[in-house]
């Protein structure tokens, strides 16, 4: 989710659900230690509960960055051992670390000794030809021994050579059964299932077997599906927020960020999918794409986009009633 789940995106998603745990995009240790931590890590208090996802392989650097993340107020520090991109491999972090369980354990141990918040690991079920169940069990057991009790498992192996990151999200077959095996073999650990989950119906089914589910691109591309999470998954009562109501709640944040010098497009690019799958969705996306990128675009663009989308939906309803 690099360049996707930034603070603007997360604030918007929090308006749809009070309870889902939000994750940052992966932030490298080098960026935090040698860059501007405030710009990279600052977030709105409304985003809680929120996890900081780190990329790195040096135990001391990861420990230092975990401590910084805890100081900023993150509820969880997550180590990415699942990203297969070439750039990530060159930095010796991400999925390639599955080949070095002792190093991952050292990283987890260093972070655990530096912070009080939970330290978790996001990983795959294997890489390249190192994809036997025995190797996966060895990896999980080794890392768990260093103090990690929660694993987010993308239920696909990763091919580090020959497939692009996009292909690695779709071509290797999903193996939910492998993650189920881990849950059975490590009953004291928590396993969060990731990969191929695109609806709340699927999520509800998987929650019967796993401790949690993670939804990435499905929630980003169709964020309104999160509007039912609090009632269907967390058992809360109350009305499900409307799309227009969510947009209205987002506007004060947008206005404040515009005053701080952020461009409208940096926020509206995350809400293009708000009307996904309903009448007016196409005009909503087109209007924002064409107008929010203008140099002086302001909050009025959101109002106009909503009127355009609702106008299409209303016209369609009237046509059906006339027929």
d(CA 159, CA 89) in angstroms, rounded, equals 12
Is 9 an active-site residue?
Answer: no
Model confidence over 281-290: pLDDT tens digits? 999 999 999 9
Quick check: 5 and 220 in contact, CB under 8 A? yes
The alpha helices in the chain, defined as continuous H runs, are 7-14, 29-34, 37-41, 59-72, 86-90, 101-112, 133-144, 165-168, 176-185, 200-206, 217-221, 229-232, 243-259, 265-268, 281-291, 300-322
Specify the CATH number of the domain 7-218: 3.20.20.70
For residue 302, how many C-alpha atoms fall within 13 Å in the half-sphere facing its CB? 24
Within this chain, domains 7-218 and 243-322 share the same CATH topology = no
- Of 283, 270, 295, nearest to 22 (Cα)? 270
Quick check: 8 and 270 in contact, CB under 8 A? yes
Eight-class DSSP state of 192: E
pTM score of the predicted model: 0.92
Specify the CATH number of the domain 243-322: 1.20.120.1460
d(CA 157, CA 153) in angstroms, rounded, equals 10
The alpha carbon torsion through 44, 50, 51, 53 (nearest 10 deg) reads -50
Quickly tell me which residue has 């996707």 as its tokens.
4
Annotated active-site residue in 9, 65, 83, 148: 83
151-163 b/e (C-beta count within 10 Å ≥ 16 → b): bbbbbbbbbbeee
Q: Give the chain's residues under pLDDT 70.
A: 1, 86-91, 312-323
Whole-number pLDDT of residue 322:
36
Whole-number pLDDT of residue 317:
38
Whole-number pLDDT of residue 316:
44
- Of 60, 6, 70, nearest to 33 (Cα)? 60
Domain spans, the chain: 7-218, 243-322
- Of 55, 57, 84, nearest to 161 (Cα)? 84
* Tokens of residue 272, six digits: 């293009």
- Of 120, 124, 102, nearest to 178 (Cα)? 124
Quick check: 223 and 241 in contact, CB under 8 A? no
């Amino acid at each position: 989710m690099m360049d996707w789940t930034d603070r603007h995106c997360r604030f918007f998603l929090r308006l749809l659900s009070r309870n889902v745990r939000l994750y940052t995009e992966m932030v490298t240790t080098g960026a935090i230690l040698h860059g501007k931590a405030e710009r990279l890590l600052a977030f709105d208090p409304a985003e809680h509960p929120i996890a900081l996802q780190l990329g790195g392989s040096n135990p001391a650097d990861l420990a230092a960055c975990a401590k910084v993340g805890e100081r900023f107020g993150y509820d969880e520090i997550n180590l990415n051992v699942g990203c297969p991109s070439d750039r990530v491999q060159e930095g010796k972090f991400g999925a390639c670390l599955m080949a070095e369980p002792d190093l991952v354990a050292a990283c987890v141990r260093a972070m655990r000794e530096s912070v009080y918040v939970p330290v978790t690991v996001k990983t795959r079920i294997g890489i390249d030809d190192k994809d036997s169940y025995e190797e996966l069990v060895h990896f999980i057991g080794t890392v768990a021994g260093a103090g990690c009790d929660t694993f987010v498992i993308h239920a696909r192996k990763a091919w580090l050579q020959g497939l692009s990151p996009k292909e690695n999200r779709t071509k290797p077959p999903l193996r939910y059964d492998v993650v189920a095996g881990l849950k059975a073999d490590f009953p004291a650990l928590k396993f969060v299932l990731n990969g191929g989950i695109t609806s709340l119906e699927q999520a509800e089914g998987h929650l019967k077997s796993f401790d949690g589910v993670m939804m990435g691109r499905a929630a980003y591309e169709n964020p309104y599906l999160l509007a039912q999470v609090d009632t269907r998954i967390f058992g809360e009562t109350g009305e499900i927020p409307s799309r227009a109501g969510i947009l209205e709640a987002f506007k004060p944040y947008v206005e404040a960020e515009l005053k701080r010098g952020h461009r409208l497009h940096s926020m509206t690019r995350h809400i293009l999918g708000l009307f996904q799958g309903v009448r007016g969705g196409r005009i909503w996306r087109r209007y924002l794409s064409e107008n929010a990128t203008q140099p002086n675009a302001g909050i009025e663009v959101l109002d106009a986009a909503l009127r355009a989308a609702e106008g299409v939906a209303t016209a369609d309803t009237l046509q059906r009633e006339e027929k």
